[in-house]
Structure 1
Amino acid sequence: MDNKKNNTSFSMIQRWASGINAIVSALVLLVIVIMINFIAARHFVRIKLDPESTGKLSSMTLQILHSLTNTVDITVFYDTSEVSFSFIDSLLREYKSECPFLNIVTVDYVKNPGLAAMIKEKYRLTFPQTKNEVLFKNLVIFDCNNRVKAVYDKELWDYDLSDFLSGKESEIRRAAFKGEMLFTSALIVVSDNRVRNAYFVTGHGEHSPISQEANTGFKDFASILELNNIQVNLLNLTSTNRIPEDCNLLVIAGPVNRYLPEELNKINDYLKSGGRTLILFRAGLHAGIYTGLESLLSEWGVNVGSDMIFDVTATITGQDMQVTNFTLSHPIMKPLANSRLYVSLPRSISRKEQAKVDADAPIVEELAFSSKNGIAITDIRNGLGYPKPTDKRGELPLIASIEKGNVPGVTGDFALTRMVVCGDSYFLSNQIIDSLANRDFAVLAVNWLIDRPYTMGGIGPRPIGKYKLNLSRTQRNLVWITFAGVIPCSILFVSLLVWWNRRN
């Protein structure tokens, strides 16, 4: 009888102990989950499924974030139910984790109209459209010391219209998210109070910065300048006595006609006074055209060849070339290690051999080369090259930088003349600029020319593409059965086994 009571008593204690143990275990698990979410919220990591992505913010974005010293207020003025909001929120969390000077506030104008009205009042002078509820919504506002930049929802996406226009889909598909590109650009704009101006020379058949034509237009290149807080202007050298004093960057993009002597003198005077210039020569059909810039650059220690470089081991179509041979010690090319440029058949751009080098002579550095299989073809007829035994062969230069300091009578940032000369201009055209690392080269070259080192830490941000997983009907049914049937039933079966084992 006593043994029966002891067994009953022991069994009751055991059951209470098991119950308490289960409750404590559940509480511990809950605490662990809460702690994991707490830590994750403050140490955010964004994982990209893009096969070409590293899964992190770009090195350029990181360098800009780490260089900030002033507080930047970021207001996410959004309907939080919008598709873009989750992308924006995730991205800005990662920005915040890298920079303590970002103050991020989300204002849902639908759920909190009172706070939304305060934001509109604050920025009513900056944005006249604040009175219009249709125009002033779904935007991100960057504000640093009253320098304000807004990024609108419609700017954040590239759209694919093909399926919509063909009738396959009833909605326009969002193809790529450009948040990092635009947010990093906004940080540059509001944190740098200096407005820089780029002037594109016109009148000689140059590529136009306002043209959207695929092969010859430079609209996308001009957009890169604007994203980097550089205003784009046009300049006709015959209508001015000198290049404007506010010109921080002179762009000569692929002329096909000869410059007048007085125009060349204006360019040379600008360079001698500490000017910054990007010169791009047309390749292929126009490789043998003399523009007058060749003689001007010769005075600065650069040879521009009347040729086109062909590399049989680096071509895809026979009219192009992938370039991987860089001078990685130069600030422009160092971030491009393990990258490739995609160019048309370029003219050779080489350092001029001089018998005697003066102490104040320009420093010419060759930046990019063909492989050892390159050949500089000089016999060009109707856009086609005919190799000759006398043509130069080997690692042939196609891009060069020129630098000269101690400009008399000039002080400050622009006491140093800088030039970048490229043997091809088409590689920065609308159609090709997003190929391989062409865009990155453009950004690095421009920022080196205008002497903005904090934006030259590496490769810049890229749009994040949205990838669609296409499954057959059988595959969709298999996925549905797996998640709706197999997994729940497996969990239930394991639970029943555990229950039965504990019961016995």
Structure 2
Amino acid sequence: MGFKEYYRKDLTQTHNFSLNPETLAYLRQIQKPVHIIITLQKNANSDVAKKYYNDIGAILREYQYATHKNGENQFTIEYVNVFQQHNRAEELAKLYNVRGDTAILVICGEKYREILGVDLYDAKTSHFKGEQAFTSAILDVTANEKKKIYCIQGHGELNPDSSDPIQGFSAAMMILQHKNIAVEGLDLAKSVNVPDDANLLIVASPQVPFLKQEEEKLRRYLSERNGRLLVFLAVEKEHGLDDLFYDWAIRADNVTIFDDSSDYISSSGDFIIKRCEKHPITQSLIDLQIQLLMGFSRPVKVDRGAGFDEQRKVVPLLYTSESSWSQKMTKAKGNKEKIVRGGQSIAVCAERNAVSQLGIKIAGGRLIVFGNADFVTNSRLGVLGNSFLFQNAVNWCLDCDNLLNIPPRPTHNYQLSLTRKDFMWLSINILIVPCAVAMVGLLIMILRKSN
């Protein structure tokens, strides 16, 4: 009876062990069982790993309590010791491509999502963000519809099926599939319109310009259907999307950015990008002070001549160093014509608010344009900052940044200092209540048996 029906009350001053009301509202709507698999070890040698284990265990117990309905629990937790449970560890590796003793999986049916260590703590304050991470993952895997992304083809874009380090885009596709996102190719020249189930379109390094009718299809998708478009432009290649970008107050000039400062050039010759504007897409890079590695880029900036639109918000995301400059290669003469010197924007995001029939503002279309495409190729996506940036851009386009409004929780370590006399007094008082309850229970059992 006590196992099936019980009550918990958080008596802490800061309610560290209570779920946010928004999380509780989401959990009440979930009708599917959710299974959590954790390979973190309780007896880990690292103090950090032990802290992870304790903080995660505490918050997950609250999820179990919140989803406890009619004596049944829709939220189950499985701790796997990969060093002892070899068969189970191999099964997890085969099903979810997860290895090692740091995995946290949220599973519902065939859908799953992995939570990373960086998702759990705020880099600056060390506050625990476990509730935000777990609730977001639960909403993702329990969603009725699977998100779908189309990669535009037909213009020499990066190949999503190729493992080639320079022209391949398969590493990015693996990241998307790991997030339970379906990915397909789309040739706009052969399609009447963008498919109805498209949550996001990706244009990765087009080598030839888009046709006008193709650009118009993208324009209608963004404006009429509040679509989402993520564009990675190649350097010194005409893209044919100038009119579309202008409508969103974005300008992508066909020039190349150079830099000769040793502080911004890696040993491999890549450009180091350190300057980021504050935005949900770049916030984790700023908090963790993670740098990006890119090849040559083209400027992508806010187009001030596009006119004012109160429904439109345009934000530059990344900047090159102050020692950089942009110039255009004049092929006929083979010389370089200097255009602009100084730090320049190489990525811009834009969004519009739409108005419903009731006059309520809702999220409209979203567009991100990067003046670089090689940072998402197989050879460079392995760089931590590059991978973060790609995933954050996708999350923002898919509205994953707006799913939750759950603040991080401060974590505290308390130490209780008692004298021997105080300790004895506390021990006696702690034992009296449970012993008294046990004695009453034993007496009742004896009286029932005697009758």
Q: TM-score, normalised by structure 2?
A: 0.62
Larger Rg: 1
Do the aligned residues in 2 keep the contact of 1:349 with 1:423 (CA within 8 Å)? yes
Per-residue deviation, 1:290 = 1.0
Residue 316 (structure 1) aligns with = 266
Matched residue of 1:392: which SS? strand
Superposed CA offset, 1:226-250 (max 9, x none):
2223211111112211001111101
For 2:79 and 2:223, locate their aligned partners in 1 and report how far apart those are by CA, in whole Å. Answer: 50
Q: Secondary structure at the match of 2:220?
A: helix
Distance 1:426 1:311, change over 3 A: same
- The one-letter code sitting in structure 1 at the alignment partner of 2:204 is A
Picking from 157, 168, 174, the partner of 1:223 is: 174
Name 1:156's counterpart in structure 2.
98
- Contact in 1 for aligned 2:80/2:88 (Cα 8 Å): no
* Aligned position for 1:394: 342
Q: What whole-Å deviation, never above 9, does each CA across 1:425-477 have from its counterpart, x for those lacking one?
A: 110111111214111111111111111126899xxxxxxxxxxxxxxxxxxxx
Correspondence for 1:101 among 58, 63, 67? 63
In structure 2, do the counterparts of structure 1 residues 96 and 304 end up closer, same or farther at CA, with 3 Å as the change threshold? same
Q: Structure 2: which amino acid aligns with 1:183?
A: E
Name the % identity. Answer: 23
**Which residue does 1:296 correspond to in 2?**
244
1:434 aligned residue (357, 382, 399): 382
Shift of residue 95, structure 1, vs aligned partner? 3.3
For structure 2, the 5+ residue unaligned runs are: 1-18, 42-48, 65-75, 106-112, 117-136, 406-451
Counterpart code for 1:333: T
304, 308, 318: which is aligned to 1:353? 304
CA shift for structure 1 position 272: 0.9
Equivalent residue number for residue 369 of structure 2: 421
For 1:207 and 1:411, locate their aligned partners in 2 and report how far apart those are by CA, in whole Å: 41
Deviation at 1:96, TM superposition (A): 2.4
Matches within 5 A, 1:153-302: 155-157=97-99, 179-180=103-104, 183-184=114-115, 187=138, 189-273=140-224, 274-282=226-234, 287-302=235-250
Measured in 1, the distance between the counterparts of 2:237 and 2:354 equals 34
Are 1:339 and 2:290 an aligned pair?
A: yes
- Answer yes or no: is the 8 Å Cα contact 1:67–1:454 preserved in 2: no
Summarize the Cα distance change of 1:335–1:413 in structure 2 as closer, same or farther, 3 Å threshold: farther
Deviates more, 1:96-105 or 1:336-345: 96-105
Following superposition, the deviation at residue 415 of structure 1 comes to: 4.5
1:205 and 1:444 mapped to 2: Cα distance? 25
Q: CA distance change for structure 1 residues 409 and 378 in 2, over 3 Å: closer, same or farther?
A: farther
In 2, Cα distance between equivalents of 1:378 and 1:208: 28
Q: Give the match's secondary structure for 1:446.
A: helix
Residues 46-71 of structure 1 show CA distances to partners (whole Å, capped at 9, x for unaligned) of xxxxxxxxxxxxxxxxx99x958548
Inter-CA distance 75–195: structure 2 relative to 1 (3 Å threshold) = closer
Aligned-partner Cα distance in 2 for 1:154–1:363: 39
Q: What's the counterpart of residue 315 of structure 2?
A: 365
| Distance in 1 of aligned mates of 2:358 and 2:192 | 20
CA distance 1:279–1:414, change in 2 (3 Å):
farther
1:151–1:73 CA distance, 2 compared to 1 (3 A): farther
- The answer to whether the 8 A contact 2:172-2:377 is kept is yes
What is the distance in 2 between the residues matched to 1:269 and 1:412? 22
Which one-letter code corresponds to 1:229 in the other structure? N
Matched letter for residue 304 of structure 2: E
Decide whether aligned partners of structure 1 residues 356 and 252 sit closer, same or farther in structure 2, where only a CA change above 3 A counts.
Answer: closer
Number of matched pairs: 327
- In structure 2, the CA distance between the partners of 1:380 and 1:188, relative to structure 1 (3 Å rule), is farther
* Equivalent position SS for 1:406: strand
* 2:401 alignment partner in structure 1: 453
1:214 shift after superposition: 1.2
Q: What is the one-letter code of the residue matched to 1:306?
A: N
**1:304 positional shift:** 0.5
**C-alpha displacement of 1:180:** 4.3
Q: Structure 1 pair 280/380, CA: closer, same or farther in 2 (3 Å)?
A: farther
| Distance across 2 between alignment mates of 1:323 and 1:257 | 27
Q: CA deviation at 1:343?
A: 1.0
Q: Which residue type is aligned with residue 200 of structure 2?
A: L
Q: Which residue of 2 aligns with 1:483?
A: none
Q: How far off is 1:351 after superposition?
A: 0.8
Find the aligned partners of 1:411 and 1:233 in 2 and give their Cα distance.
35
